[in-house]
Amino acid sequence: MSGEIADAFSRAKARGEGVLVAYAMAGDPDLARSVDVFAACVEGGADILEIGVAFSDPIADGPVIQAASERALKAGSTLRRVLDEVVPAVRERCPHTPLVVMTYVNVVMALGEERYAKLARERGISGTILPDLPPEESLSIRAAFDREGLELIPLCAPTTSPKRAEGIARDARGFVYCVSVAGVTGMRSQLPANLSERLGLVRNVSPVPVVAGFGISSAEQARVVGAHADGVVVGSAIVRAAQADGPDAARQVCADIKQGLRR
Amino acid sequence: MDTQTAPGRFGRYGGRYVPETLVPALQELELAYAEARKDPAFDEQVAQVLREYVGRETPLTPARRLTALWGGAEVWLKREDLAHTGAHKINNTIGQVLLARRMGKKRIIAETGAGQHGVATATACALFGIPCEVYMGALDVERQALNVFRMKALGATVHAVESGSRTLKDAMNEAMRVWVAQVEDTYYVIGSAAGPHPYPTIVRDFQSIIGKEVRTQSIVSFGRLPDAIIACIGGGSNAIGILHPFIGDTGVRLVGVEAGGHGLDSGQHGASLTLGTEGVLHGSRSLVLQDEHGQIIEAHSISAGLDYPGVGPELAHLAKQGRLEVRTATDDEALAAFYQVSRTEGILPALESSHAFARAADLARELGKGKHLVINCSGRGDKDVATIAARGMPAAIRLEGA
């Protein structure tokens, strides 16, 4: 069960590719059509889907995902509805793709951490990313997730000290999400020069794969970053494409990025 | 299993729920603040600026006509409205900007709702020559034009935040996002006793000067500690500031007044201690206004400073323990209190403080004669006159004035 994420990394590695973790916002533009976007990402080559669940106050997100959050909330998206309506539909259309939820800690707390962990596993979620839950605050949630075999995927930042990064990596489940730039989510023309060093450091101590995210939007960036990580996360570029031109555009973004991840 | 493993906890509340990028900055701040507190030179520097520039100590003024009018306890006003810039906010910004300078930070950012904290931050930055950027909800930029002008005049850059409800909570989100991106050389001055650890502690410590002065002044003025102290609560910085030094004095009743807005049943209010539920907003676990799905609900108050869907974690803890008594006052009650205090004492209280005055009348009667009640007059109402005038003067007041 909980090996689903590990399997996805192994399969990609066997094919000589880096993993593409594709983020889209559940409920944007509405619940049903967001399912099409997730399916399109997998058709485009996404190896893992990151299902964004909207929060009213997304402090880790940039303007593109923030706006997607607002649209999803207007369309009636809630964690419960995403688990009941979006996740099973995505699961049906993409049965071999691990699904990871990304949302904020308050949304999970409101449902109840135990209840969330149980529901998420029942619906086929493999892991969860909570960008406002640093390790010090995560003990109780992680225990609840561990009991259900749901992986709490930690984040590591450019400001994280090597010692702290080691601690985060050692306790990681699923994969380590290395934030490539000090900042919020969003596309960037340039990534920091020392990113490869940081990725190397985390990879050295991490028992699980390491992916880089934040700011990656092109095949070239994916190629550069992918050389030092097991994969990349792409979010804002997919969300923006899907909003502008629908699922086909999201599929194309994923296909382009995937080109950059061929080794 | 509970999550009380992290630093900066007040019972179940507090903590540090922020993106990993900010955690090292908060740890650095925690350390720098602890060192500053151990350094008597830092304390003296803060005290000196408060004395020479802010105008502390602020008086404890007997409100003789309000006492007579309300017919109960003797009423005393802690006059934070007389502090430079017109509100208590300056106590904290002087302290934090000095701390930022000590840490070698090159730039200050802040969020503001009504603009009082923005003005106070811009003022401290002007005084110490540090660049200042203030994030303010676009709606508040419209509502608080006077304070926007003041900040700009003081040399600050004001950014209107267009996301969400375009008010304080969105300004705070935006300031946090900006901070995440520029955390190396930027200091974020939070104005409320909210936010991730160590902010609730830092803000409380700098604002506690209010309560410390009240302790001394009440002994001098009426020979003992007050029987009750009342303050308005939005995020809660003036309240924790005046109340904190009295937490151990069980004979002193501590009372907080939240924004009742259009009434608690209307759904349009800022009463997070009264009607909020446990949640995480802006980096700390506290009581917040949220729906069953964990989405934060927009707060409402006639006073922009109380228009916030969260509250500082220490106040949430004190309220849950029962040490803090929590009441609410509606927009209309605050307005009526504004006119009453203006006409009875010749003091135009801020709309925030007017909420405290609205419930102080009841409290004074409850306490009865021979008791002493201190009201935190946290700011002056000059900034609110456009809002108040736009509502039109109530008929009863017009008659009385005619």
What is residue B2's predicted lDDT score, i.e. its pLDDT? Answer: 45
Pair (B165, B258) in one structural domain: no
Q: Identify which of B231, B236, B371, B379 has the alpha carbon closest to the alpha carbon of residue B314.
A: B236
CATH number of domain containing A173: 3.20.20.70
Same domain, B194 and B63: no
Comparing CB atoms, the residue among B22, B184, B294 nearest residue A109 is B294
| pLDDT tens column, A197-237 | 889 999 999 999 999 998 899 999 999 999 999 999 999 99
> What CA–CA distance (Å, rounded) separates A114 from B184?
37
Could you tell me the residue range of the domain that residue A179 belongs to?
4-261
- Tell me: pLDDT of B133 over 70: yes
| 3-class state of residue A131 by DSSP | coil
Sort out which chain A residues have CB atoms less than 8 A from B17's CB and list them. Answer: 105, 132-134, 137
Per the domain annotation, does B314 fall within a domain? Answer: yes
Q: Phi and psi at residue B42, in whole multiples of 5°?
A: -70, -45
Domain count, chain B: 2
Q: Are B1 and A56 within 8 A, CB to CB?
A: no
Within chain A, how many helices (H) and strands (E) appear?
13, 9
B3:A164 CB<8 A = no
Give residue B146's domain range. Answer: 16-51+89-199
Which CATH number characterizes residue B134's domain? 3.40.50.1100
From chain B, the residues in CB contact with A109 under 8 A are 278-280, 294
Contact B315, B274 (CB under 8 A): no
> How many Cα atoms sit within 13 Å of B382 on the Cβ side?
11
- Using the predicted structure, report yes or no on whether residue B399 has a pLDDT greater than 60: no
pLDDT for A1 equals: 37
d(CA B93, CA A245): 47
Helices B40-49 and B23-38: crossing angle in degrees, nearest 10, is 90
pLDDT score, position B310? 97
Which region among A244-253, B69-78, B290-299, B382-391 has the lowest average model confidence (pLDDT)? B382-391
Region B119-141: what's the mean pLDDT? 96
Chains A, B: CB pairs < 8 Å: 141
Nearest-CA residue of chain A relative to B18? Answer: A132
Query: d(Cα B77, Cα B98) in Å, to the nearest integer?
Result: 29
A19: three-class secondary structure by DSSP: strand
Last residue of a domain, one of B199, B231, B258: B199
Report the pLDDT averaged over residues B171-184: 90
Domain endpoint, select from B199, B218, B244? B199
Please name the member of A110, A134, A179 whose beta carbon is closest to the beta carbon of B292: A110
Q: Are residues B73 and B136 in the same domain?
A: no
Q: Are residues B183 and B230 in the same domain?
A: no
Chain A neighbors of B21, CB-CB under 8 A: 157-160, 179, 182-183
> Following CA atoms A110, A113, A115, A117 in sequence, which dihedral angle do they give, to the nearest 10 degrees?
130
Q: How many CB atoms lie within 10 A of CB B212?
A: 15
Indicate whether B257 and B393 sit together in one domain.
yes
Q: Please tell me whether residues B195 and B257 are part of one structural domain.
A: no
B107 and B65 fall within a common domain: no
**In three state form, how does the secondary structure of chain B look?**
CCCCCCCCEECCEECCCCCHHHHHHHHHHHHHHHHHHHCHHHHHHHHHHHHHHHCCCCCEEECHHHHHHHCCCEEEEEEHHHCHHHECHHHHHHHHHHHHHHCCCCEEEEEECCCHHHHHHHHHHHHHCCCEEEEEEHHHHHHCHHHHHHHHHCCCEEEEECCCCCCHHHHHHHHHHHHHHCCCCEEEECCCCCCCCCHHHHHHHHHCHHHHHHHHHHHHHHCCCCCEEEEEECCCHHHHHHHHHHCCCCCCEEEEEEEEECCHHHCCCCCHHHHCEEEEECCEEEEECECCCCCECCCCCCCHHHCCCCCCHHHHHHHHHCCEEEEEEEHHHHHHHHHHHHHHHCCCECHHHHHHHHHHHHHHHHHCCCCEEEEEECEEHHHHHHHHHHCCCCHHHHHHHC
> Does B67 lie in the same domain as B141?
no
All residues of chain A having their beta carbon less than 8 Å from the beta carbon of residue B163 are 63, 66-67, 70
Place of tokens 């003296």: B44
Best residue in A115, A137, A160 to probe B by mutation, most B CBs within 10 Å?
Answer: A137
Tokens of residue A164, six digits: 């702290």
Count CB atoms within 10 A of the CB of residue A61: 29
User: pLDDT for B247-265, tens place per residue?
Assistant: 999 999 999 999 999 999 9
Catalytic residue among B78, B354, B378, B383: B378
Residue B41 has pLDDT above 90, yes or no: yes
CB atoms within 10 A of CB A81: 17
Q: Are residues B313 and B268 in the same domain?
A: yes
Q: State whether B112 and B237 are in the same domain.
A: no
Q: Are B252 and B246 in contact (CB under 8 A)?
A: yes
The pLDDT score that the predictor gives to residue B325 is: 98
Q: What is the pLDDT of residue B400?
A: 54
> Which of A121, A129, A128, A111 has its CA nearest to residue A91?
A121
Q: Are B69 and B344 in contact (CB under 8 A)?
A: yes
- Same structural domain, B134 and B266: no
pTM of the model: 0.95
- How many folded domains does chain A comprise? 1
In a domain, B402, yes or no: no
3-state secondary structure of A239: helix
Task: Give yes or no for residue A246 having a pLDDT over 90.
Answer: yes
Active site residue B111: yes
**Within this chain, do residues B195 and B265 fall inside the same structural domain, yes or no?**
no
